[in-house]
Structure formats: structure tokens, C-alpha cells
Structure 1
Amino acid sequence: MHEPDDVIASVDPSLRVVPAGEAPFADVEAVFGTRGDPATCWCQWYKLRGAEFRAAEPGELRDRLAAQLAEAGPGPGLLAYDGETPVGWCAVEPRPALVRLPHSPVASATPDPDFTDVGVWSVSCFVIPRAFRRRGVATALAAAAVAYAHEHGARVVEAYAVDPAARSKPPAAELFPGTVSMFAAAGFVEVARPKPHRVVMRRVLAG
């Protein structure tokens, strides 16, 4: 198995987090699976206008992600491993790549509405297969996303978290943006709450 060299420090020593573009795409496919929202979205929801997204077949969306991972430059995501097993995905990249964010009722509540600023990065999605949930994988990915963004010139990292405490038992499928507690553990602070259970969180990075 190809093992990426560029390992990003993780808060959990049993996990390693690497740029997904340096991992075999088969490992990305293993995390996204063949059922449910990840296998029909492939982290393209924020990258396409509504009509374009609705017209695309899942296979097209998968191929778009594969092409994005093959491009030069940072992004669009990180992959977590437990040993040789891929156990999670986190989407993180410069905010301008996510063309739908300015039209999102949550993301548009940001205190920094210049969506062309490449110094602002977004953490927009997590995919953790059911077998690997509740093991701190997403928390490790959130921390690694900050380190990765900082390494590649980000001034600010932004997230659009869910606050489970403000909503009675949200289904797991609605937690894909990440939770308030895991972003708080990675040093993010709340900057806006456009909905009772949705929170814009940011971490400002030192130069």
C-alpha cells in the first residue's frame, strides 16, 4: 500500500492524518462508501450551483472529487488512518473554492463576507464511517485541518458547526459539518449563530 509521507500532527497518537491527494483514491472511496449522503455528494455540494449539482450523477461527482485531489496545490481534504485503515475524511480548503457558501444561510452569517479572500479557509464536511465513530476521528481531523491550513498560508479557518445541545437528538446525517465541541477543542470560537443549532466558528492563525 502507498503510504503518504506528509503526515499531519494529530491530537490522537493512534491516528495519522494525511493530505487526501497523497493517498490512494481507493482509500477515499472506502471512507465515502456506497450508500448514504457521502456516496451521492462526494463533497461537491458547496462547489456547484444548485441546478448543476442536481443534474450531476453520483459517478460524475466522484470523478470531480478525484480530479480535484489530483490537482496541484493545497486541498481539498484530509484523510485519517488508524494503522493502514482509512477511517475519516475532512474537507478543508480556501473558502473561494466553495461557490455556494455565500448563498448559505449559515455561512453567509460570517463576520468576514469577502468570499474571494484566499486567506480564509473553510472546514465544511466530515465523513466518518459508522464503524469508526465515537473514537475521536473527527476531532483529530479538525485539529489537523487547522495545522494544514496554517501551513498553506491561511490567516483564518472557518467552520459551520452544529450544536447538538440546542437540538434534541440530531440524526448523525446532520452532523456532517462537525460539532461545536470538536471545533472548540481545536481552538475555534463562536462568531455568529444564525440558527439556534448552527454556529459559525473561526480560528485566527498567527503569522
Structure 2
Amino acid sequence: MTIAVRPATAFEDVRTLVGPKSPGANVCWCLSYRIPSTLNNELRGPARGEYVAELCRAEPPPGVLAYDDEEPVGWAAVAPRSDTSFARSRRIPHVDDLPVWSLWCIRVRPGHRKKGLSHALIAGAVAFARDHGAPAIEAYPLDNGGAKVDATMAYAGIRENFERAGFVHAADTTSVLAGHPRVLMRLDLRR
């Protein structure tokens, strides 16, 4: 397995990872935290994909993709926190006034899990944020204490994987996902 992590500029590859099987479906497309809730509710069916296609053409693109050879196998959403709903969150605190970036979704395709792709995606997202001038990057993973996490709710990642990547616990949150508390983890990129 040869893994490469690249900016998410290829819309068809993003669709493979986060798009619906049916073009008219109203699935997340990893927009829930990226855009205001009003817009999120207004975008229906194909309009969701069209919005993501625009993001893929923008600078910076909406995240990173992991490829096994040329097959898209993983996705990580990463953007300046100020451009996400985390900027206004009452459940996820602000640690300070640094213009941090947020990493909030990691998705690995079935059949490719348990091969270290989430680690490659975290590293790729960190490099992407650093390359775009981020002074620090935050994530809001589940603090599951080793308990099993339902695969559909594991998109936030787990604390242990972020600790392995050098992130440190920066704050507790009042956010709970899949019955597990979420914590704010941060990695300083100014070194």
C-alpha cells in the first residue's frame, strides 16, 4: 500500500468519500460544520454537491484526500476555524485568539480501515494547515477511553490518535457525540 495525502481539489474523489450514492440525497457532504446552519438547511440534493465542487476549486480547498496509489481512500476536513461553525460554538471553547485551523472530520472508506489511514490523514491535514500559514491546528475528537465507537460517529476521530500525532489536550468541551465527550486537542505549528 502506497499512501499519498493531497489537497482535496478533485471533486469526483471528494464525492467518492463523502457524497451520497444517490445524487438527490441530502447527506452531510461534510458541510455541517463548514457552513452556517441556515445555508446547510437550504442546500438540498444536488445543490450540496455543487457547493462542494465550488469548494474544491477554491483556495484553499476544503481538506485533504488520502490515496492508495491513485484510488481515493480517505478524507479529512480542515479549514480556518473562523470559516466554520466552531467559530460560534458554545460547546467547543476558544482557547485563545490565535487564528487556528480546525480538523473535524476523518473518513476512511470501508475496506481500507485499520491500515493507518487516519494517522496519514491527520498528518496530511497538519501539513496542509501549516503550508497555509496556520499557527496551530485544533481537533475535537471523542474521548472514548478505549471504548468502541460506532463507525458512523467516528468521523470526529479519537483522542488517542491525535495524541499520537503530537496534539495535546487544550480544553474540555460540553459537546458529546455517540455517548462520548469530545475534547479540544491542539498542535502548535509555530515551531
TM class, shorter-chain normalised? 0.7 to 0.9
Give the CA deviation at 1:32: 2.0
Please list every run of 5 or more consecutive structure 1 residues that lacks an aligned counterpart in the other structure: 1-12
User: Counterpart in 1 of 2:162?
Assistant: 183
Q: Structure 2 vs 1, CA of residues 186 and 89 (structure 1 numbering), >3 Å: closer, same or farther? A: same
In the alignment, the residues of structure 1 paired with residue 20 and residue 103 of structure 2 have an alpha-carbon distance, to the nearest angstrom, of 23
Residue by residue, what CA displacement relative to the aligned partner does 1:150-183 show, whole Å, maximum 9, x if unpaired? 11111010111112227x5331111111111111
SS where residue 134 of structure 1 aligns? coil
Give the CA deviation at 1:206: 2.2
Please list every run of 5 or more consecutive structure 2 residues that lacks an aligned counterpart in the other structure: 175-179
Alignment of 1:42-53 (within 5 A): 42-53=29-40
Alignment of 1:134-145 (within 5 A): 134-145=114-125
In the alignment, the residues of structure 2 paired with residue 191 and residue 84 of structure 1 have an alpha-carbon distance, to the nearest angstrom, of 36
Alignment of 1:156-167 (within 5 A): 156-165=136-145
Give the CA deviation at 1:103: 3.8
Residue by residue, what CA displacement relative to the aligned partner does 1:34-53 show, whole Å, maximum 9, x if unpaired? 259x9711111113322332
In the alignment, the residues of structure 2 paired with residue 59 and residue 127 of structure 1 have an alpha-carbon distance, to the nearest angstrom, of 21
Q: Structure 2 vs 1, CA of residues 142 and 39 (structure 1 numbering), >3 Å: closer, same or farther? A: farther
The percentage of aligned residue pairs carrying the same residue is 35
Q: Structure 2 vs 1, CA of residues 67 and 33 (structure 1 numbering), >3 Å: closer, same or farther? A: closer
User: Counterpart in 2 of 1:101?
Assistant: 86
* Structure 1 position 85 matched with structure 2 position 71: yes
Q: Is the 8 A contact 1:164 1:170 kept in 2?
A: yes
Give the CA deviation at 1:205: 1.3
Q: Is the 8 A contact 2:11 2:52 kept in 1?
A: no
Q: How many residues of Structure 1 are paired with residues of Structure 2 in the alignment?
A: 184
Which of 14, 33, 52 aligns to 2:2? It is 14
Q: Structure 2 vs 1, CA of residues 58 and 186 (structure 1 numbering), >3 Å: closer, same or farther? A: farther
Runs ≥4 residues deviating over 6 A: none
Q: Is the 8 A contact 1:32 1:39 kept in 2?
A: no
In the alignment, the residues of structure 2 paired with residue 50 and residue 26 of structure 1 have an alpha-carbon distance, to the nearest angstrom, of 25
User: Counterpart in 2 of 1:3?
Assistant: none
User: Counterpart in 2 of 1:10?
Assistant: none
